[in-house]
Amino acid sequence: MKYRWVITIAFCCLVIIILSYLFYSQKIRFYEVTSVMKHKDGTSLVYIVKSKDDAILEYHHIDLPEMNWEESNLVIAEGWRLKQILYVDFNPFIGGNERLVKVKLDKTSKSSRIYIYKIKKINIYLDERYANGGIFIE
């Protein structure tokens, strides 16, 4: 009887540890590349750009220095500086490489500029489970 409780508690602890690992948010390092004046308002506060042919670059008239798109993505923040980017695996049980991001913007940095940040190449998407796409101003 005593051993049954010990095994049950050990099993529950193991399940909690595994679930915590699967849904643990990981930080993404980002580096500011440049900022430009905003010419017109876009449809979102944050964009994830995965190629040089992305329409948002043309929409905002953004000319970028040469970069290796095989190794990097861009995150564009319209009017706010980035504070933090976190991601979780979209479906850790299948083992795919898609990740959902949560973006935190710095509430003290409101401006009429567009900030462009470089991150390592990761297959990330804004988290549409939230009404705001996983974008928070803090």
Residue 65 amino acid letter: P
14 within some domain: no
Domain count for the chain:
1
13 within some domain: no
* pLDDT tens digit sequence for 66-88: 888 889 888 888 888 888 888 77
Q: What is the pTM of this model?
A: 0.74
71 within some domain: yes
* pLDDT tens digit sequence for 102-129: 888 888 877 788 899 998 888 877 766 6
pLDDT value for 22: 55
19 within some domain: no
Q: In terms of residue numbers, what domain contains 103? A: 25-137
58 within some domain: yes
37 within some domain: yes
